[in-house]
Amino acid sequence: MNNLNERGHARRKWINRIMLVLSGTAAAIAILILALILGYAMIKGISYLNLTLLTQASKPVGETGGGMRNEIFGTLILVALGSIIALPIGLLAGVYLAEYANPKLAATIRFTADILAGVPSIVVGVFVYAIMVIPMHSYSAVSGGVALAIIMVPVVARTAEESLRLVPDSMREAALALGITRWRAVVGVVIPGAMTGIITGIMLAVARIAGETAPLLFTALGSSFGLQGLLKPIGSLSLLIYHYALSPYKSQQQQAWAGAFLLIVLVLGINIIVRWVSNRKQF
Amino acid sequence: MAIKRNEQKTLTPGSMKCPRFIRRSGYTDNIFSNLTLFFAIVMVVILVALVIILTRDAMPAINKFGFSFITNTMWNPVTDVFGALPAIYGTLITSLIGLLIAVPISFGAAIFLVELAPNWLKGPASFIIEMLAAIPSVIIGLWGLYVLVPVVRHPIEKWLGSHLGGLPFFQGPPFGVGFLAAGLVLAIMTIPIITAVSRDSMKAVPNEQREAMYALGATRWEVINKAVLPYCRTGMVGGVILGLGRALGETMAVTMVIGNSNKLTASLFSPGTTIASTIASQFGEASTGVQTGSLIELALILFGVTLIVNVIARTLVWRMTSLKAAKK
C-alpha cells in the first residue's frame, strides 16, 4: 500500500513537470512566432529601404528608381480622414454612455458598439462601396476615410467610456457644487481628468486603422499618383504591400517588404509609445 | 453609479423650480446631452443601415438563387451561376485548423503568464503577445506568402503526405498555398486574442481557490487543472469563440496564402477560398449585377455568422468578468 502511494506520488510529480514544461513551451512558441515575423520583416524590409523609396513616386516596372512617397502620404491622409470623422462621433458617444445614458438605452448602444467592432473589416468595405462608391460613381479617398472611420468609432467610444468611468464621482460633484452647468462640468472637468485614457484609446485605434487593408480595397482602391482630390482614388502603404506582394516582379516584391517595414514601424511604434506612456502614468 | 447620476439630474437645471438664469443654462445642458445622444445613436444607425443596404444589394442574387446559393458549388461568372458552398466550407475548415493549433498554445501561454511566470517576466511576456495582435494582417499575409508557404510546401506537407497520407485530408500534391497555410496564418492571428482573454479569466479566479487546493497537498498542475481551470472555463471558452469570430472574418492574410481557387475538396493541401477572400479577390472585377449581388450576399452571410459568434462570446466573457466584479 505504501509502495503504491509512493508510485502514485512519483507519477503525479511527473505529470506536474510535463504539464508545466508544456505550458512554458506554449508561451515560448507564441513569443517566438512574433519574433520570427517581426525579425524577418524588419531585416528584409530595411535591406530594401533607401532614400529614393521614401522621396519618389512610383515608376513603372523596368525603370530604375521609383518609390512609395505617395503611398506613405496616402496612408497619412486616409488615417487623418478616418480620425476626423470618427473622433467626434466616438468621443461624444462615449460621453453619452458614461455620463448621460439611461441604463436601458445604454445597454443597447454598448451592445451595438461591440457588434460594430466585431464586424469583419471586409464587410465594412463592401458596405461603404454600396453607400458611397456606387452613388458617387468613383472610388475615392473620402470613401476610404469613411470605411476606416466606421471601424474606428466603436473602439473610440468604448475606450472613452471606460476612461470616463474611472473619473471619481467626487470630481463631478465638486464641479457641480461650484454652480456650473453639467455640460461645462463634463467638458471642463471630467473629460480632462480622463484625457490620458482617451488619448491612449484614440492612438491605439489610429494604429489599427493605419494597417487596415480590406476596407480600402473597394473604397480608396489604390493609386500611385497621391492625393488628386478627396473624390479621386488614393493609395496607401497597406494596399501597396498587398498589390506588390502578389506581383511577379522582384523589384515590386522588394518594395512590398520595404513598405511592410515602414508600416510595422508606424503601427508598433504607436503601440509601444502609447503603452509606455500610459504605464508610466499609472505608477 | 447610475442611480447616483440620475439623482444629480433632478438637482441640475431643467426643473421648473430653478431660478430663471439657471433654467436658461439648462438649455445648453439639454443641447449637449442631446448631442451626445445623437452621436451614440449614429452607431446604431450605421449598424442598421449596414444590414438593410447589404440585404438590398444582395437581392439580385437572393432572388435568382434562393436557398440553393449556400448549397451550390459552382462559381461561374460566364454562365452567371454562383454558389457559396466552397467558400463557406473554406471559411469553416481554415478557422477550424486555426483554432485546433491556436487553442492549446494560447491556453498553455495563458497558464504560463498567470500561474508560472516569475513576476518580472509576466509584464513583458504579455506585452509581446499583445504586440502580435497589433501587426497588420497584410504584413502577416506577406510573411505567410514568402516565408510560411515554402515551409508548408516542403517539410510540412511532404511529411504529412508520406506519414499520414492514408487520411483524405493529407492526400494530393503539396501546393504550399492552400487550406493548411491559411489555417496556420489564422492560428497566428488568433493566439493573441485567445491568450489575452484566457489570461484575464484566470486572473479573475480568487486566490483562496488555489490556496485551498495547495493545502490539500496538490501539485502545481493539479491546482491549475482542478481548482483554476474549472472556475474560469466559461471565460476561456468565450475567448476561443472570440478568436473564432476573428478567424471567420479575417481577410487579407488568408487571401494571400489560400490560393483563391473555388474548390471543394477534403485535401488540406489544396488551394481553396473563404468567404472573405472570395469577396476580396473578386469584388473589384465583378461584371454583372448577379455576381456583385452574390458577393454582397456572401458579405451578408459573413456578417450574420460573425454576429452570432460574437454575441455568444461577449455573453460568456461578460459572465466571467461580472463574476469577478461581484466577488470584489
Q: What is the ipTM of this complex?
A: 0.92
Clarify whether residues A9 and A95 are in a common domain.
no
Interchain proximity A24–B116, CB inside 8 Å: yes
Clarify whether residues A17 and A100 are in a common domain.
no
Considering the domain B70-327 in this protein, what is its CATH number? 1.10.3720.10
Clarify whether residues A195 and A142 are in a common domain.
yes
> A185-221, pLDDT tens digit by residue?
999 999 999 998 999 999 999 999 999 999 999 999 8
Average pLDDT estimate for A161-184: 90
> B221-280, pLDDT tens digit by residue?
999 999 999 999 988 999 999 999 999 999 999 999 999 888 888 888 999 999 999 999
Clarify whether residues A40 and A64 are in a common domain.
no
Looking at every residue in chain A, the average pLDDT score rounds to 90
Instruction: Note the pLDDT of residue B3.
Output: 44
Clarify whether residues A137 and A227 are in a common domain.
yes
Interchain proximity B37–A12, CB inside 8 Å: no
Instruction: Note the pLDDT of residue A54.
Output: 86
For chain A, say whether B310 makes contact (Cβ under 8 Å). yes
Q: Which of B33, B147, B219 sits opposite A16 (nearest CB)?
A: B219
Q: What is the pTM of this model?
A: 0.91
Long-range contacts of B26-30 (CB under 8 A, 24+ apart): B26/A181, B28/A181, B28/A183, B29/A181, B29/A182, B29/A183
Closest CA to B295 of B46, B48, B57, B73: B57
Interchain proximity B251–A154, CB inside 8 Å: no
For chain A, say whether B94 makes contact (Cβ under 8 Å). no
Clarify whether residues A40 and A79 are in a common domain.
no
Clarify whether residues A26 and A81 are in a common domain.
no
Check residues B159 and B135 and name the one with the higher pLDDT: B135
The number of domains in chain A is: 2
**Residues of chain A contacting B191 with CB distance shorter than 8 Å:** 30, 33
**Residues of chain A contacting B109 with CB distance shorter than 8 Å:** 23, 26-27, 29-30
Check residues B308 and A228 and name the one with the higher pLDDT: B308
Instruction: Note the pLDDT of residue B23.
Output: 55
Q: Which residues pair with B75 in a beta bridge?
A: B82
Interchain proximity A120–B303, CB inside 8 Å: yes
Instruction: Note the pLDDT of residue B213.
Output: 93
Say whether pLDDT at B135 is over 70: yes
Say whether pLDDT at A258 is over 90: yes
**Residues of chain B contacting A165 with CB distance shorter than 8 Å:** 1
Delimit the domains of chain B by residue range: 70-327
Q: CA-nearest residue of chain B to A261?
A: B139
Clarify whether residues A36 and A168 are in a common domain.
no
CATH number at residue A183: 1.10.3720.10
Average pLDDT estimate for A63-74: 85
Q: How many CA atoms lie within 13 A of B144 on its CB side?
A: 30
**Best interface-test mutation with A: which of B4, B9, B22, B139 has the largest number of A CBs within 10 A?**
B139
Place A95 in a pLDDT band, splitting at 50, 70 and 90.
very high
**Residues of chain A contacting B322 with CB distance shorter than 8 Å:** none
Clarify whether residues A103 and A33 are in a common domain.
no
Clarify whether residues A81 and A34 are in a common domain.
no
Task: Provide the residue range defining the domain that includes A16.
Answer: 2-48
Instruction: Note the pLDDT of residue A26.
Output: 95
Clarify whether residues A43 and A59 are in a common domain.
no
